[in-house]
Amino acid sequence: MIQKQTKIYVAGHNGMVGAAIFRALKQKGYQNLIGLSSRELDLKSQSSVKSFFEKEKPEIVIDAAARVGGILANNNYPYQFLMENLLIQNNLIDFSLQAGVEKFIFLGSSCIYPKLAPQPLKEDMLLTASLEPTNQWYALAKIAGVKACEAIRQQYGKDFVSLMPTNLYGPFDNFDLETSHVLPAMIRKFHEAKIDGHQPVKLWGSGTPMREFLHVDDMAEAVVFAMEHTFEDNLYNVGTGQDLTIKSLAALIQQVTGHQGEIVWDSSKPDGTPRKLMDVSKMTGAGWKAKISLEQGIQDTYQWFLKNIDQIKQVKL
């Protein structure tokens, strides 16, 4: 039984997702939370992670730690995206098992599903066809994590659950134009173009792919819900169940930021997967659904961006 004093370790608590989970847990009254920076604990180091588990003995582990980035970063650093994510999650999963952790929640991504899988994406489509080449390295690592948690459930009867969110955004996102995902990159581009006299904004691709977006605070609520409940299965999609074209997203962000210039689409750049809509019926059936609308979420994120513009997170690889 989970108590307010249960010792909960959130790996990656300084990242956008981990920080949101940490905030949500605090708001719900959980008092025994552990969060360590990468300087304090190198999750890629087996010996360091082993020592941490022996010393701290967490009862619940939430794995929100990962090497992440957009199409460009995945393309340019395939080995790092594969190997670093494997090292991080393997250490956390294995030592959680060895230490007798009561509950482990593994966070992945919708990119684990095949590039051309039927829409909306159902959990049982995993490993049924080829991945999207531009982010297959990250996806392969995450698939390995899902399967490791599934194997532990099967072999040891442990409560290890995998949650696969759709595209996440919100406070503490990465707004670096070289390594960010599409939504925060657009917020920054439209804002800077507005400040520069409403200059034209150039965006990658055709604008026709469809994407689904989930506010990170909704994702955090889903994680806490999964922690507080016993799920029947090992893999659950987390999203809104609604998507829109990248062109529509650009129009919405242009409206929120107040940019009045032209939008130019560079069709020589890749679009990525044509559509990625999550089937969230399993999660809905378990009793959880998203609450924050996309327009409200973008407005909140833009306000956070404006308040933190001087120290916006810039990831340099």
Annotated binding site: 12-18, 107-110, 142, 165-168, 181, 189, 204, 211, 271
Residue 261 sits in a domain whose CATH number is: 3.40.50.720
Task: Note whether residue 316 is domain-resident.
Answer: no
Residue whose token pair is 């909960």? 8
Structure confidence at residue 275 (pLDDT): 83
Q: Which residues of 91-100 are buried (b: 16+ CB within 10 A; e: fewer)?
A: bbbbbbbebe
Annotated binding site for substrate: 189, 204, 211, 271
Structure confidence at residue 214 (pLDDT): 98
Task: Note whether residue 235 is domain-resident.
Answer: yes
Give the H or E element holding residue 155. Answer: helix 136-156
d(CA 294, CA 241): 12
Task: Note whether residue 287 is domain-resident.
Answer: yes
Looking at the structure of the chain, the number of domains it has is 1
Stated pTM of the model: 0.92
Structure confidence at residue 315 (pLDDT): 42
Task: For residue 167, give the nearest of 27, 300, 297, 76 by alpha carbon.
Answer: 297
Q: What is the pLDDT of residues 54-74, one digit of tens each?
A: 999 999 999 999 987 767 777
Output DSSP code: residue 77.
-
Structure confidence at residue 219 (pLDDT): 98
Structure confidence at residue 134 (pLDDT): 84
Give pLDDT < 70 ranges for the chain. 70, 313-317
Task: Note whether residue 2 is domain-resident.
Answer: no
Domain membership of residue 164 as a residue range:
8-311
CA 221 to chain centroid: 13
What is the number of helices (H) and of strands (E) in the chain?
A: 10, 13
Task: Note whether residue 281 is domain-resident.
Answer: yes
Catalytically annotated residues: 138
CA distances from 255 to 29, 191, 251, 280 (A): 37, 11, 6, 29
Task: Note whether residue 99 is domain-resident.
Answer: yes
Task: Note whether residue 188 is domain-resident.
Answer: yes
Task: Note whether residue 41 is domain-resident.
Answer: yes
Structure confidence at residue 75 (pLDDT): 78
